């Protein structure tokens, strides 16, 4: 298919057309012309949208679907369609399925299901067999099959020697190790942030210390072994500080935080709404301020939606019993744009590709078309009608958003809302 994007403002600092409003001709998946005005020819689908902006395709480093094992929550096909209509051309898919993605065959299953899709699916392989935290999984074989990183989703590596061996072993093939930041012996049976709110609500707390001890331990191990470590979804001020100092030492460490940890505090739990039950738990305004500063100075490499569909039977139950997680693909852009502004939002939605070894595509002639389409203006309140996912467990219903996503052009295909 051939497409002509009309009057599109480019947000791409690597492009010679940055901040210019141009027409963009895409033929057979490649940008063949960019000019002030391009006349549409036969066989070219013309795309016009109000206040159309484009950028390099967005990447989400932590996405969960349900297939295989939890198809009632989200299938791969439907989930990728949600990602496309949310503006993402690439996602990293977590290994929290049944069976766990812990071998080359399971990686091949995922890549096969996503073949010929507009959205690029990059599997994350489990670091340990069945994500049980005991034996290291077949990391090299999984990388050869298409895995871009290795980690046990939302499960901390309790054995420090296991992480040490993983960091040493993956250096043989330039692998990236993920380590979830939680010391389980400290977090215990907590279900929310341990602070004033947990006392008021009578809920068991997870102190910031549980995250920070694990981050500090992992950074000590990284300094000893070398290798590449990614710490996903940090949530505390001290974690930002620890990672900043590690980067200043020259360690190859990267990290992400989530949209909900940037915008929501533990005060949301006053209603005992289980949609706000996430892991790590929502923290305080002080932590949000530190996370925002970490984004500004580059300590935090990327922001993720940490999209995790949960079926109603496991979410709309007593708070203590509810599963952790919120969906977030649909609300990610509008929420981030409202607090960060368009330039920083696009930066944090695209720069994570480099950490995970994914090749970006500058918006320029003769380059592959890997483009997100959006309107950065216009305020609205996110509601259930905006949810595209099969599961509806969103922590953002009723929250203010800025801007609208139109869709993507990627892999020679265009998907628009």
d(CA 169, CA 330): 37
Half-sphere exposure of 131 (CA within 13 A, CB side): 21
CB 256 within 8 A of CB 61: yes
Active-site residue, 364 included:
no
CB 328 within 8 A of CB 306: yes
Among 60, 266, 287, 306, the active-site one is 306
3-state secondary structure of 90: strand
Residues, the chain, total?
Answer: 417
3-state secondary structure of 388: coil
d(CA 237, CA 146): 34
d(CA 94, CA 63): 6
d(CA 96, CA 73): 12
Going 303 to 73 to 124 to 129, the CA torsion angle's sign is positive
Strand ranges, E, within 199-285: 205-206, 228-231, 253-258
Q: How far is CA 120 from CA 68, 79, 417, in A?
A: 18, 12, 18
Instruction: Of 134, 136, 142, give the one whose Cα is nearest residue 111.
Output: 142
Strand pairing report for 176-178 and 228-231: parallel
DSSP string spanning 260-301? HHHH--GGGGGG--GGG--SSPP--HHHHHHHHHHHHHTSS-
Q: How many helices (H) and strands (E) does the chain have?
A: 14, 18
- DSSP annotation of 394: B
Helix (H) or strand (E) holding 33: strand 30-35
- Tell me how crowded residue 98 is: count the other CB atoms within 10 A of its CB: 10
Please give the positions annotated as active site.
306
């Amino acid at each position: 298919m051939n497409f002509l994007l009309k009057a599109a403002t480019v947000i791409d600092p690597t492009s010679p057309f940055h901040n210019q409003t141009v027409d963009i001709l895409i033929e057979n998946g490649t940008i063949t012309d960019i000019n002030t005005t391009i006349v549409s020819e036969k066989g070219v689908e013309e795309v016009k949208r109000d206040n159309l902006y484009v950028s390099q395709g967005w990447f989400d480093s932590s996405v969960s679907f349900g297939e295989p094992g939890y198809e009632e929550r989200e299938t791969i096909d439907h989930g990728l369609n949600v990602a496309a209509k949310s503006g993402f051309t690439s996602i990293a898919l977590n290994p929290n399925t049944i069976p766990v993605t812990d071998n080359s065959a399971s990686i091949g299953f995922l890549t096969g299901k996503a073949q010929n899709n507009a959205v690029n699916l990059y599997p994350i392989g489990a670091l340990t067999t069945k994500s049980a935290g005991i034996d290291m999984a077949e990391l090299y074989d999984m990388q050869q099959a298409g895995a871009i990183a290795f980690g046990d989703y939302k499960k901390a590596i309790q054995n420090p020697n296991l992480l040490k061996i993983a960091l040493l072993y993956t250096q043989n093939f330039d692998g990236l190790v993920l380590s979830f930041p939680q010391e389980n012996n400290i977090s215990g049976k907590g279900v929310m942030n341990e602070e004033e709110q947990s006392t008021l609500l009578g809920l068991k707390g997870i102190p910031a210390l549980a995250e920070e001890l694990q981050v500090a331990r992992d950074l000590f191990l990284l300094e000893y072994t070398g290798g590449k470590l990614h710490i996903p979804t940090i949530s505390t001020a001290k974690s930002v500080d620890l990672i900043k100092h590690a980067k200043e030492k020259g360690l190859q460490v990267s990290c992400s935080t989530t949209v909900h940890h940037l915008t929501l505090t533990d005060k949301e739990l006053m209603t005992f709404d289980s949609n706000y039950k996430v892991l790590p738990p929502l923290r305080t305004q002080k932590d949000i301020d530190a996370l925002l500063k970490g984004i500004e100075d580059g300590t935090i490499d990327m922001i993720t939606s940490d999209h995790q569909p949960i079926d109603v039977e496991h979410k709309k139950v007593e708070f203590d019993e509810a599963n952790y997680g919120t969906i977030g693909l649909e609300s990610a852009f509008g929420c981030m744009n409202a607090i960060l502004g368009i330039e920083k939002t696009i930066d944090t939605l695209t720069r994570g590709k480099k950490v995970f070894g994914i090749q970006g595509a500058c918006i320029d002639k003769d380059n592959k078309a890997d483009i997100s389409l959006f309107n950065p203006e216009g305020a609205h309140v996110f509601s259930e009608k905006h949810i595209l996912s099969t599961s509806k467990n969103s922590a953002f219903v009723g929250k203010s958003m800025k801007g609208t996503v139109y869709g993507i052009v990627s892999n020679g295909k265009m998907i628009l809302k």
